[in-house]
Structure 1
Amino acid sequence: MGNTAALVAEHVRASGARFVFAYPGDPIIELMEAMRALDVEVVLGSREGTAVFMAEAHAMVTGRPGVCLSTLGPGSTSIVNGVAAATWDRVPLLAISGQIDAGREDLVTHQVVDHKLLFSPVAKWAGRIHPRSVDAVLRKALRLAVAERPGAVHLTGSAETFAAPAPDVAVKSPPLDGASGGVRVQRAAGGPDPAALLRAARRPVLLAGAAATRCDATEALTRLAESGGFPVVVSPMAKGVFPEDHPLFAGVLDMACNQVLWDFLADSDLVVAAGFDPVELIRPWSLAVPVLHVDTTPNVDQVYPSDCEVVGDVSASLDWLAHGLRGEPRWRERDIAAHRERLRAAYYSGRVPGRLNPTDVIDVVRAAAPPETVVTCDVGSHKLLVGQGWRARRPRSVLMSNGLSSMGFGLPGAVGAQLALGDVPVVALVGDGGFAMAATELRLAAARQLPLTVVVFVDGSLNRIELKQRALGYPGTATRLDDIDLVALAGSMGCDGVRVSSVAELEKATAGLGAPTGPLLIEARIEPAQYEAQF
């Protein structure tokens, strides 16, 4: 009979995890040793808050639960933001925190935080590990993390618990494939038949979201779009679920050039919301256009009204809707092409000739990066341009926090993704504010010689907030960032670094992007005037 820590570690390994991300403490020593004994590598982050982002990004690229560990007290409070991010970003995550022994928890105050109260508002479940129920608790935690809609689960365990003997059971993981099953139609009284509604529409638009990615709906989405000539708009966290070089691709909602996208949707006569999750909306839904809700869950948010819903696996639902579609394409190719040209013009508006503009950085890095490159993006003005302008060709290739939209995700997210992907190139596109929150993770990247590239958009400002202050006629308060020599900082942590302030310099710096020998930091000194024109 093994101890409780060993049984927890067996469940983690059976879930497919080969890395857990942690910052250690006394109560989880036994658990970390159990992970090591099963060849589950415990990766030390610079702090708990970055370790949990690594776990989230690892889950984003693999589709399997990411795992992070923290100690009690400040260790547990430090992962709250990352747990919330996973829940709002709809990413499966198992977070385990140490705690004082149960017999003293109600009497001792030093470093004792009530984890049930702390994590219940930001996780799908906050549970406790106990030797007698550990098998059921881990099965529930993992199944709940991947169940629609996915999110974070938090478990608490003490040193006493982890060292205690556990029942001798054969570990078997529950299904961890997320959405699956058949298709069912739900209609309001007198509501239309969804297939008939789509057949009758003359200018329908497909709006694909993160659930389409989780359901591997790329082929079904492409078949439906091509069968009816339907343009496809995607949400930011679904980038790549529909190839962005396809002539029917019509842009990314609620990123840069936002009004162009909303005008395009308003000009349709039906929006097919295919796995679209309103958690990504920045602007309130104000369309008068009918919506056909196609998702893994019913339309419980009611952000938009929908008289009929197709509930189930998004891929199967789209194939069901495509069956029997006949006739000429609903949209004229020239109308979609004209929209794409308007979107392109809006995207490049505000460029300053002769300077390094944010869109220049995106274009140059995208051109230099191999097709299979995975990009992580932090939060800030640059994210809105990356979300619209980075051309994604496959799902799970653009990783961002766009549910909670938490700064500090980009660099640790790139580390977590790179560990999962091995030799696949990973590029982090981060602002100087978000980079400052996680900069020390460069040391981890250097120690492991991870072949990732970190591009920092340097403008010395928390630009999104500064622009809003300016719009209100206020001076910039607490939004200016002190200048840092990022090249020297990178060198101090064992990374290569280069500073660029022109397109030519950036092209030279990214010439070897396809075959990096270790982590590279590019300090891109940009002209921020384009942000003001855009936003």
Structure 2
Amino acid sequence: MGRTAAVVAEYVRATGTRCVFAYPGDPIIELMEAFRAAGVEVVAGTREGTAVFMAEAQAMVTGRPGVCLSTLGPGSTSIVNGVAAATWDRAPLLAISGQIDIGREDLVTHQVVDHKLLFSPVAKWAGRIDPRSVDAVLRKALRLAVAERPGAVHLTGSAEAFAAPAPAARIAPPPLDGAAGGVRVQRAPGGPDPAVLLRSARRPVVLAGTAATRCGASAGLVRLAETAGAPVVVSPMAKGVFPEDHPLFAGVLDMACHRVVWDLLAGSDLVVAAGFDPVELLRPWTLNTPVLHVDTTPNVDQVYPSDCELVGDVAASLDWLADGRRGEPRWTEADVAVHRTRLRTAYYAGRVQGRLNPTDVIDVVRAGTPPDTVVTCDVGSHKLLVGQGWQARAPRGVLMSNGLSSMGFGLPAAIAAQLALGEVPVVALIGDGGFAMTATELRTAVARRLRLTVVVFCDGSLNRIELKQRALGYGGTATRLDDMDLVALAGAMGCDGVRVTSVAELEQATTGLATRTGPLLVEARIDPAQYEAQF
């Protein structure tokens, strides 16, 4: 017999996870030691709220469950936001919180929170680790976390439970491929055949989402797009699933220039929703265009009506549609080029000559980084421009919270991505508001000599809300940020820092990023006028 904590650690290790993120506490001491003994590194965040974002980002970039640990009471309440983010961002996450012994849980009030009630609304399951059932509980937790649609699972365990012996068990994780294997057609009574629906469309558009990424459907998307001559729009969290330098790439939904992209969809006569998850919609779906639903799950959201559904592996569904496609391509590359020119013009609207604009920052950083660079992004006005303007070269190359859209994600996500990816360059593009929430995590990056680059868009404002206040004729109540010397702050934590106010200074600061051996903070003093023109 081994200890219960060892069974938990071995299950996590068997998934291929080599580090978990935590903030220590009494009830999880035994569990953290079990992870260390199993060869799984325990990475301490500066607080529980950033540790859980690190675990979420690790899941996003690897496709395997991320794991975070917290203590009881305030430790568990501090990870609620990150657990909810993983669920709404469709990232498989296993969150484990300590608790007092179950025999005292109903009698003691100090630091005791009912985890079942706390986490059930924001997780796929809230369970308990017990020595007698730990084997089955870990299998269920891992399977649920990755099952379509993936999300967070929360488990509670006490110090006594973790230290207690567990029955001998063979560590046998469940399948960790969440996507469905086959494809089945589901139609409303009298609904159309999907192949006929696509064949009869004169102006089809493909809208690809995160399930296409999870299913590895990039090749299928390209094949269907080229066979049908259909432009491809992607959702923000699916950036890179379709090559953004492809002539049929038509932009990102609900980011900057959203009206141009919605106009393209409105002008189509069929939307092929390929793994698109409505959780990413920032605006109501108002299209009257017919939709062919292609996803790992049925169209249970009913955000858009669809009389015909292909349910199963998205890649297999797209291949099947391409196999049945007949006739000439419906759009020409010249047609799509006109749309792309309009999109590009709208993207650069509002630039102020001679100033450092938000789009300048994105363009310069993209030009100064290798093609395989992974970018993480926080929430704010800058995210909408990054979502549209950063050219992603591969799936999982852009990490953002766009389901729950939680601020404070960008910096901890970059740290986790750099730990997971090793030599692959990682850049965090974050606003000064999001940076203020997580700035002390720079010390974590320094301590581990991570060669990530953190670029902060500094405009002294929570811009998205301030613009909405202004539109209503109100002043900037609680949306102005006190000025901070971020270069001095970085230096206090042992991090290199540089302040830039122009394109030339930013170009100089980003020269040689790929050869750095430690983190760099770039304080980019931007002119926010472009935001107002955009939004």
Using structure 1 for the length normalisation, give the TM-score: 1.00
Q: 2:435 aligns to what?
A: 435
Instruction: State the distance in 2 between where 1:273 and 1:516 align.
Output: 41
Corresponding residue for residue 114 of structure 1 = 114
Partner of 1:389: 389
C-alpha deviation, 1:283, in angstroms: 0.4
2:303 and 2:177 map into 1 onto residues whose CA distance is 27
Q: Does residue 132 of structure 1 match 2:124? A: no
- Name 1:338's counterpart in structure 2: 338
In structure 2, give the amino acid aligned to 1:299.
N
Give the distance between the partners of 1:274 and 1:165, measured in 2 at CA: 47
CA distance in 2 between partners of 1:227 and 1:75 (Å)? 52
1:266-287 alpha-carbon deviations (Å, 9 max, x no partner): 0000000000000000000000
1: CA distance, partners of 2:162 / 2:125 = 20
SS in 2 for 1:7: helix
Taking the TM superposition and a 5 Å limit, the aligned residue runs for 1:436-451 are 436-451=436-451
DSSP 3-state at the match of 1:440: helix
The equivalent residue for 1:311 is 311
Q: Which residue of 1 aligns with 2:529?
A: 529
Superposed displacement of residue 15, structure 1: 1.2
2:328 corresponds to which residue?
328
Partner residue of 1:452?
Answer: 452
Q: Separation in 1 of the partners of 2:210 and 2:517? A: 33
Listed as ranges, the matches of 1:36-185 within 5 Å are 36-185=36-185
Mapping for residues 331-370 of structure 1, pairs under 5 Å: 331-370=331-370
CA shift at 1:328, angstroms?
A: 1.6
Unmatched 5+ stretches in structure 1: none
Q: Does residue 425 of structure 2 align to residue 425 of structure 1?
A: yes
Give the 4+ runs in structure 1 shifted more than 6 A: none
What is the alpha-carbon distance in structure 1 between the residues aligned to residue 513 and residue 465 of structure 2?
A: 32
Unaligned runs of 5+ in 2: none
Partners of 1:140 and 1:110 in 2: how far apart?
30
Please give the alpha-carbon distance, in whole angstroms, between the structure 2 residues aligned to 1:315 and 1:164. Answer: 45
Q: Distance in 1 between matches of 2:326 and 2:473?
A: 56
2:378 paired with 1:378: yes
Cα distance, 1:478 vs structure 2? 0.2
What SS does the aligned partner of 2:273 have? strand
Percent of counterpart pairs with the same letter?
84
**Cα distance in 2, alignment partners of residues 316 and 324 from structure 1:** 13
State the 1:77 CA deviation.
0.1
Structure-2 separation of matches of 1:516 and 1:481: 31
What is the rounded CA distance, in whole Å, between the counterparts of 1:125 and 1:335 in structure 2? 47
2:18 corresponding residue in structure 1: 18
Aligned counterparts of 1:302 and 1:180: Cα–Cα separation in 2: 20
Q: Which residue of 2 aligns with 1:198?
A: 198
- CA shift, 1:332, in A, is 2.3
1:283 maps onto 2:300 in alignment: no
Matched residues in 1 for 2:477 and 2:36: separation? 48
Question: SS in structure 2 opposite 1:514?
Answer: helix
Name the structure 1 match of 2:249.
249
Q: Which residue of 1 aligns with 2:213?
A: 213
Q: Give the stretch that moved more between structures: 521-530 or 172-181.
A: 172-181
SS in 2 for 1:102: coil
3-state SS of 1:439 partner:
helix
Partner amino acid, structure 2, of 1:236: P
Task: Spell out, residue by residue over 1:346-398, the C-alpha distance to the aligned partner (whole angstroms, 9 max, x if none).
Answer: 00000000000000000000001100100000000000000000001110000
Alignment of 1:469-488 (within 5 A): 469-488=469-488
Residue in 1 aligned with 2:398? 398
Match of 1:103, SS state, is coil
Q: When the two structures are aligned, how many residues end up with a matched partner?
A: 535
Following superposition, the deviation at residue 515 of structure 1 comes to: 1.6
- 2:472 maps to 1:505: no
Tell me by how many angstroms 1:177 deviates: 1.1
Task: State the 1:244 CA deviation.
Answer: 0.3
Tell me the CA shift for residue 530 of structure 1: 0.2
Query: Displacement of 1:180 after TM fit?
Result: 3.1
The 3-state SS of whatever aligns with 2:104 is: helix
Residue 259 of structure 2: SS of its match in structure 1? Answer: helix
Q: What is the CA–CA distance in structure 1 between the aligned matches of 2:465 and 2:224, rounded to whole Å?
A: 40
Per the alignment, in what secondary structure is the counterpart of residue 456 of structure 1? strand
Give the Cα–Cα distance (whole angstroms) in 2 for the partners of residues 409 and 496 of structure 1.
21
Q: C-alpha distance in 2, partners of 1:333/1:277?
A: 27
Match of 1:497, SS state, is strand
Whole-angstrom distance in 1 between the partners of 2:120 and 2:35: 26
How big is the alpha-carbon RMSD for the aligned residues of Structure 1 and Structure 2?
A: 0.5
2:153 paired with 1:187: no
Residue 304 of structure 1 and its aligned partner are, at CA, apart by 0.1
